[in-house]
Structure 1
Amino acid sequence: MTETLIATPTAPAVFDAEKFRQTTRAQWESAAEAWNRWGPLLARWLGPATEAMLDMAAVGPGARVLDVAAGAGEQTLVAARRVGARGHVLATDISPAILRHARAAAEQAGLANVDTMELDGERHDLLPEASFDAAVSRVGLIYFPDQQRALAGIRHALRPGGRFAAVVYSTAERNPFFALPVGIIRRRAQLPPPLPGQPGPFSLGGEGVLAKVLEQAGFRDVEVRKVDSPVRVPTAAECVRFERESFGALHQMMAGLSDDERADTWSEIEQALARFETPAGGFVGPCEMLVGAGTR
């Protein structure tokens, strides 16, 4: 989703993975407070996909769980309640600011079985081998520049027979609440289409793509489920406020626009999303998640 490219006069643009990582970290440092504040909406919106992810990863009483790209930790707490006092959850993320919210949420909930660690999503090979029974990642894997390296590290941290499950967006066509804003910003900012292999919200959404990526990483017994996950808020304006405050990458895409151009862009986005306001009242933004899982 973030447009981090390098171009030379004699060569086509190439994806700069390291700059993407730096930009991603900066985005989440900036958006951490808002992402945490919108936690109740995230819980409602992603609740069914989260439960499917934890089920497919076999997260149960006493389990040791690795939560990759945990963010503000809403799903971390759900996992921690599942595993109970005999279990343990380690939440990792590239952003220390957002992990502070995860830590505070666990303390406020009285969950002593949660720890946090600042860690790049591609460096779980630094953890002790076979130290977790299950690993999960909710809307994180899609943004890793080297998804195979990330999966190799996660697989390293899992015990033999341990399960990994990830939530990702399906295709842009099935997620217009997000795809419409991305398309409008891309047009207004005159951004090129994503390069092959470039991370982004819909990078694993194509038919069979998620399963293939998991199998390529060495996971077996791979399965993928579709989960209908509509975004329900009072109005289209509220959805735009959620995206404007929490989706830092949308701001990065608009970095080259003036303040007036950005304001006009958000207005166009709100007009486009207004089609999902229902006659009975309320905004229902179409969204479909995929939950993929496999065994080490």
Structure 2
Amino acid sequence: MAEQQPLFDAAKYKNTQREQWNKDGSAWRRWTPTLELWYGDVTRQMLAAAHVQSGQRILDVAAGAGEPSVSAAERVGPSGYVLATDISEGIVELARQVACERGLHQIETRAMDGEKLDLPDASFDAVLCRFGLMYMPHPVNALSEWRRALKPGGWAAVAVFSMPERNGWGALPASIIRQRAQLPPPVPGQPGPFSLGGVGVLEELFRQAGFANPQVRTVQVPHRAASAADYVRVAREAFGGFNAMMANLSLEERESVWNEVENSMHRFESSTGFEVPGECHVASAAK
């Protein structure tokens, strides 16, 4: 008899995600200027794909430490409204602080599960989710909830990373960490950074959630830094998932792993600096 694969525990996974971002959210905020150099174009393309305009009501799911909420708030202006939500109470508080520092009083923040919105029907002109949907155990449920919250004619726009072979910034460190930490392969249904990057995956999810004619475009997101060492410094602080994969290793073993990661990333250095490939998909559809 074949050995039965373990089932994916969605509730446990969500609790782990909440705890991870409560812990690592401050690092994500600290590195925001660098992260926006990498992902700012993705945000702009999402806002355009969702037809975000002055005076609108925008919902940002998995908003993290404040993007794309801040960019959306600047576009809708003082007469508009942006609700920034995230499963992590700690990182939502950071987003609130960012909004206050920017004087963006049209931003409200609330801790909320993106798969189960505590929001009325037909209450938003657009829903945004940058690099969050791929971490949700039930993406069709999430998209269905977002569609419910949209006004008729409103748009949803999401960004996810594409395939691992096109995202060396994450796939290479993850491969090394998985091997060194002796982690088993992901179980069926397990979310992750590249779980929705396959051809046609996003289109099918949108259709299953009730959206018609989803549009998907590919965006290059090269991760640039002065050196491999500088890149690894960002990765080990801001990308909490890497550290979570090493939770059972000693401090000495973790340092050894990070040294191996840095050595592996030297291949992306040149006379002009460091650049490792990255690619994502921006998908959008109207209700």
TM superposition score normalised by structure 2: 0.97
1 CA distance for matches of 2:218 and 2:270?
Answer: 24
Q: Tell me which residue corresponds to 2:115.
A: 122
State the Cα deviation string for residues 43-72 of structure 1 (Å, max 9, x = none).
111011111111101111111000000000
User: How far does residue 232 in structure 1 lie from its aligned partner after superposition?
Assistant: 1.1
2 CA distance for matches of 1:40 and 1:155?
Answer: 31
Identity of aligned residues (%): 50
User: How far does residue 221 in structure 1 lie from its aligned partner after superposition?
Assistant: 2.3
Secondary structure, aligned partner of 2:187: coil
2 CA distance for matches of 1:284 and 1:229?
Answer: 10
Aligned length: 286
Runs of 4+ deviating beyond 6 Å? none
Whether 1:95 aligns to 2:92 is: no
Whether 1:38 aligns to 2:31 is: yes
Q: Tell me which residue corresponds to 1:3.
A: none
Choose from 34, 37, 45 the match for 1:52: 45
TM superposition score normalised by structure 1: 0.94
User: How far does residue 161 in structure 1 lie from its aligned partner after superposition?
Assistant: 1.1
Matches within 5 A, 1:103-142: 103-124=96-117, 126-142=118-134
1 CA distance for matches of 2:41 and 2:232?
Answer: 22
1 CA distance for matches of 2:23 and 2:145?
Answer: 27
2 CA distance for matches of 1:74 and 1:244?
Answer: 20
User: How far does residue 85 in structure 1 lie from its aligned partner after superposition?
Assistant: 1.4
Choose from 151, 157, 168 the match for 1:159: 151
Choose from 286, 290, 296 the match for 2:277: 286
State the Cα deviation string for residues 65-109 of structure 1 (Å, max 9, x = none).
000000000321100010011111000001111111111111111
Q: CA RMSD in A?
A: 1.3
User: How far does residue 11 in structure 1 lie from its aligned partner after superposition?
Assistant: 3.8
Choose from 55, 58, 69 the match for 1:65: 58
Whether 1:228 aligns to 2:217 is: no
Q: Tell me which residue corresponds to 2:135.
A: 143
Q: Tell me which residue corresponds to 1:274.
A: 266
User: How far does residue 246 in structure 1 lie from its aligned partner after superposition?
Assistant: 1.2
State the Cα deviation string for residues 22-43 of structure 1 (Å, max 9, x = none).
0000000011110000110111
State whether residues 7 and 188 of structure 2, in contact with CA within 8 Å, keep that contact through their aligned partners in structure 1: no
Secondary structure, aligned partner of 2:134: helix
> Which runs of no fewer than 5 residues in structure 1 stay unpaired?
1-9
State whether residues 5 and 187 of structure 2, in contact with CA within 8 Å, keep that contact through their aligned partners in structure 1: no
Secondary structure, aligned partner of 2:43: helix
1 CA distance for matches of 2:98 and 2:161?
Answer: 26
State whether residues 125 and 155 of structure 2, in contact with CA within 8 Å, keep that contact through their aligned partners in structure 1: yes
User: How far does residue 233 in structure 1 lie from its aligned partner after superposition?
Assistant: 1.1
State the Cα deviation string for residues 156-176 of structure 1 (Å, max 9, x = none).
111111100001000000000
Whether 1:29 aligns to 2:25 is: no
